[in-house]
Amino acid sequence: MTQNSVRFVMLSISLFLFGGLFLVGCGSTVSKSNYDKIESGMTIEEVESVLGKGEEQASSSINIPGQSISIPGGGNISTSGMSTSANAMVWKDGTKVISIMFSDGKVMGKSQLGL
């Protein structure tokens, strides 16, 4: 066997092994089994540890400041402020889609298409 033939065989084996390792890591995270792992109350970070980085589709937040009301004759009534946020994120792979709705950073609902 010539030196060029040996190099060709070694290169072919290396490419085959590298290609096999690459394909093992290419599985889609958008699957029914991963969808089933998502539970109400999970944080965005916990969901992304299962599905990978998602794409934010919409978000909103509301901030209501606290109030203090003086009562004639003395006394006050005070309310504390309130804030909340909501966002929708999506994970896609071809025609497979997982959508998750978050409220204050925690899962409040999910839906899927094509899994």
Q: Does 54 map to a domain? A: yes
Q: Does 6 map to a domain? A: no
Residue pLDDT, tens place only, 31-56: 999 999 999 999 999 999 999 999 99
Distant-in-sequence contacts of 26-34, Cβ < 8 A, 24+ apart: 28/93, 28/96, 29/91, 29/93, 30/91, 30/92, 30/93, 30/96, 30/97, 30/98, 30/115, 31/96, 31/115, 32/112, 32/115, 34/98
Q: Is the pTM of this model over 0.75?
A: no
- For the chain, the domain total comes to 1
Check which CATH number belongs to the domain holding 64 and give it: 3.30.1450
Q: Does 12 map to a domain? A: no
